[in-house]
Amino acid sequence: MIGARGEGVRPSGARAARDGSATGPLAGVRILEVGTMLAGPYATMMLADLGAEVTKVEPAGGDISRQVSDSYFASLNRGKRSISIDLNTARGQDQLGELAANAHALLVNLKPSAIHRLGLTYEALRRWNERLVCVAITGFGLDAGDDPAFDYVIQAATGIAALTGDPAGPPTLPGYSSADNSTGLTAALGLLAQIVSGQGGQVEVSLRDVMLSQLNYHASAYLNDGTAPQRRPFGAHTYYVPAQMFPTAEGYLALFITHDGFWRRFAGEAAVAGFETMVERASRREEVLAAVTTALAADTAVGWESRLRPLGIPAAAVRTLPEALEATPEVLVQAGPHRLVGSPIRIAGYEPTYGPPPRLGEHNI
């Protein structure tokens, strides 16, 4: 078990306060969230970790993610407040307006028709607060209709799935919600950018656009050079060789050789001759991969990692998530009764307050 009795867990807010940690960089920023499941709640949790006051506006039944599991809900909603409001009623709309009048931003992820119907746009709320920033996370755009847009659907629709997996097998998906998480981070960036501008307004972020943006160099190669991306064995990189997974005597090794200096050091350690330039390695891909595969069969993935890392060569044995967490106890935090992975953002002099996830309607007046 990781962090049993608190080992390897960074201090909670109470501990941080006793230690005199600095006020968070977003202290005083008030954000409303009408979010469900992952993308929206992840965005606002990242902001809460940086000191923003995030109030989760939930219907009577709560965010549907409460029904998944307590640990799932905690992983996306630590440190927030919860107010239960029926936005389908006139009273609920007035309550939302009163909250908006004192907020810096509202972030919502629902289907577009619900966002418009419930008055969760800047045009609907500007009468309460001209400087309010309204961020809408949708599948395809705020005015693009209600086509279903869950994470895996977007990965399929944007080319992610077609690029993932072995070329001899079916398209596949990463084992986590990459579209939702990426969109959440992008939405948080858009929200902060508009707050910094000092003006209110509508911000839109769609899962489709974010994932197409993340295919940056693949899209550029196709649009400018007519080169369509290929799915390669072992997740091989399009440009760099060798840069992929390799089988070893035991386990798999991720090896990422980009420039010639990396190659010289690797070739010396692995006793591989030739292929001295990046251009040559790219043009003789199959020969390089065969030579590297043969060399790596002489040791285990962990053994190669221990040999290559001191040489500054990017390499890592493939580990499971439990193994990765066991190896990095410093990233774990305590948020009420839950052990979680903490904020990836480190700011000198600031230790986040990791409060527990709120009970439904806990902060109703």
Question: Which residues are tagged catalytic?
Answer: 180
302 to 233, 243, 316: CA distances (angstroms): 22, 17, 8
Burial of 109 by CB count in 10 Å (0-12 exposed, 13-18 middle, 19+ buried)?
buried
Structure tokens at 70: 């307590």
Phi, psi at 14, each rounded to 5°: -60, -45
**C-alpha angle with apex 319: 355 to 170, nearest 5 degrees?**
105
How far apart are alpha carbons 172 and 284 in whole angstroms?
Answer: 28
Residues whose CB falls within 8 Å of the CB of residue 67, separated by 6 or more in sequence, listed in order? none
How far apart are alpha carbons 323 and 207 in whole angstroms?
Answer: 31
Strands 332-335 and 30-34: unpaired
Q: Which neighbouring-strand residues pair with 31?
A: 54, 105
